[in-house]
Structure 1
């Protein structure tokens, strides 16, 4: 707790792939990944509830608004905090009625960060912040 760590390497070294493996967004070929001492596949829901992550690419539905996307994502987190989310949306000056596809890349990253910080995560993972 309380540490900032960097995960660095040249382009193509596998940093983003490692993050996707940790988050179980892609299938691993072999081995195991333990986060908080738990297998990331067998305990996927518990592990993901403790991680906030921001990917370099958009992984949200393009045709929905910021508010609609939040309404889709929030129920997946046991400790979702609507007040915290609203604070970040205001601080980041994100338009809640705009569709995701209408947001700039920077605004999409801010939206992802607002999501990542709004459910009491123990670990924050950022890909190409």
Structure 2
């Protein structure tokens, strides 16, 4: 990017990661380590791409659940795309019970106790 006299942005890193994650998950994971080394902070957009990539295979869908669980640790708030992607992946790979337990734990942390019976 220096050849073009510009600096990479968070969005450019997420774009590259997204392209790699579609077909080359191992390379995408290496790129993610590089992103950490240059201190690119995760955003909800990055985490959505990461969750989507992990939901594409049965072997990695549980890792997607772990990434979802760590979203608040990164100061991010899941959006509708996060939930939709995660639900779709869990339905495809029969992990709905596990997803429901994660949602319950997450809702208990953020929701008002009186709302829990309505939400769950």
TM-score (norm 2): 0.33
Q: What is the TM-score normalised by the length of structure 1?
A: 0.32
Could you say which structure has the higher helix fraction? Answer: 2
